[in-house]
Amino acid sequence: MSLKGRTVLITSGPTREYLDPVRFLTNASSGAMGFALAAAAKRAGAKVTVVTGPTNLEPPPGIRVVKIETALQMRRETLRRVRAADVIIGAAAVSDWRVAKTAAHKIKRNGSPLRLTLIPNRDIIKDAASLRRPGQLFVGFALETRRATAHARGKLERKGLDLVVANGPESLASGRISATLVAKGWTRRLPQGPKARVAKIVVAESTRLLNERRA
């Protein structure tokens, strides 16, 4: 199935939430899944933009890359592009919380416990889907440690998505992934495989759903 003439927007990688100028909260996401999705969408003929957190990976050729660090930056750069995209895929491992106030200088150790106040970040894919225009398709990821399919179906409905890819934390630092696709009315379990292969399937299913919507 072709995405020729279509625009795909993908969020990818981790975010960094700074405690002070030299320390931050983050996670083990490498950005490999987001880049694999970008490569698959590009091969399908789409014009692709990736909003990515810090990664050591080289992006696929022919992809527009927007580099960010924090969840707030990712949200801003995603929402300013969402209306122009046909398919929006939220594959980033965005931090659910950020530090309430980042220290202006390095926090020095003084022998006492350090207490941090964390405040929630906005849900980027949910906010993006709230701006939906007719004909758009929204895909989310659900990284869970238990009841992944059930949580994915909840996110599908709660966030107004069309497809959710459920997976576990073992995929974060690996080149392989085991995933379940969850859509309205159906579930599809994918065998564990390279992220590139799973990305191809996700893009193919997204294309099919997009074409069904526009038929």
Kindly list the catalytic residues. Answer: 27
Say if residues 98 and 16 touch (Cβ distance below 8 Å): no
Cβ contacts of residue 19 below 8 Å, gap of 6+? Answer: 25, 99, 102, 103, 107, 116
- 138: nearest Cα among 68, 79, 197, 71: 79
φ, ψ dihedrals at 129, nearest 5°: -65, -25
Buried b (16+ CB within 10 A) or exposed e, 24-36: bbbbebbbbbbbb
DSSP 93: B
Cβ contacts of residue 37 below 8 Å, gap of 6+? Answer: 10, 12, 89, 91, 199, 202, 203
137, amino acid identity: L
- 33: nearest Cα among 198, 205, 189, 187: 198
- 86: nearest Cα among 161, 11, 10, 8: 8
